[in-house]
C-alpha cells in the first residue's frame, strides 16, 4: 500500500503517520457525534403494539380489497383481444411494399453499376 501511495502522490507514507491521522480523525468524529446527537430509548408499550398491529391490518386490508375488486370483472366486461392486423398491421400490403422497394433498389444498383462501368470505359479510352 505504501508503494502505491508513493507512486500516486510521490510521498512516503509510514504506518505510524497513518495510525496517528486515523486516531485523530476518530477522536474528532466521536466528539462531533456526542455533541450533536442524543439517543432516546423508545420503550415498547401496549399502546405502541396496538398501533403497529392496526397499521399492519390496514395495509393488508387495503391490498385484499384491491385484489377482490380486480378479480370481479367478467369476461364480457374485459376488452376484446386484439387481432393480428391490429397488432402487426396489414402484413400482405407491407410485404408487397417491401418487395416493390427491393426491386427499386436492385434496379437503381444496376443502373448505377452500368453508369460506373461506362465512366470507367470512357476513362480507359
CB 13, CB 6: distance < 8 Å: yes
Q: How far apart are CA 7 and CA 10, in angstroms?
A: 6
Identify which has the larger pLDDT, 32 or 6. Answer: 6
pTM of the predicted structure, to 2 decimals? 0.34
CB 5, CB 11: distance < 8 Å: yes
Q: How far apart are CA 15 and CA 1, in angstroms?
A: 10
CB 13, CB 24: distance < 8 Å: no
For range 53-69, the mean pLDDT: 65
Query: Domain ranges in the chain?
Result: 1-39, 40-72, 90-125
Q: Quick check: 31 pLDDT over 60?
A: no
19: cell is: 495510525
Amino acid at each position: 500500500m505504501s508503494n502505491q501511495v508513493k507512486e500516486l502522490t510521490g510521498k512516503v507514507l509510514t504506518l505510524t503517520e497513518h495510525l496517528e491521522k486515523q486516531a485523530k480523525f476518530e477522536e474528532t468524529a466521536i466528539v462531533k457525534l456526542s455533541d450533536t446527537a442524543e439517543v432516546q430509548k423508545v420503550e415498547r408499550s401496549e399502546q405502541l403494539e396496538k398501533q403497529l398491529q392496526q397499521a399492519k391490518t390496514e395495509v393488508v386490508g387495503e391490498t385484499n380489497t384491491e385484489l377482490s375488486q380486480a378479480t370481479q370483472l367478467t369476461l364480457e366486461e374485459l376488452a376484446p383481444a386484439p387481432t393480428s392486423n391490429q397488432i402487426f398491421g396489414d402484413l400482405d400490403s407491407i410485404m408487397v411494399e417491401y418487395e416493390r422497394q427491393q426491386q427499386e433498389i436492385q434496379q437503381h444498383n444496376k443502373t448505377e453499376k452500368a453508369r460506373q462501368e461506362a465512366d470507367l470505359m470512357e476513362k480507359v479510352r
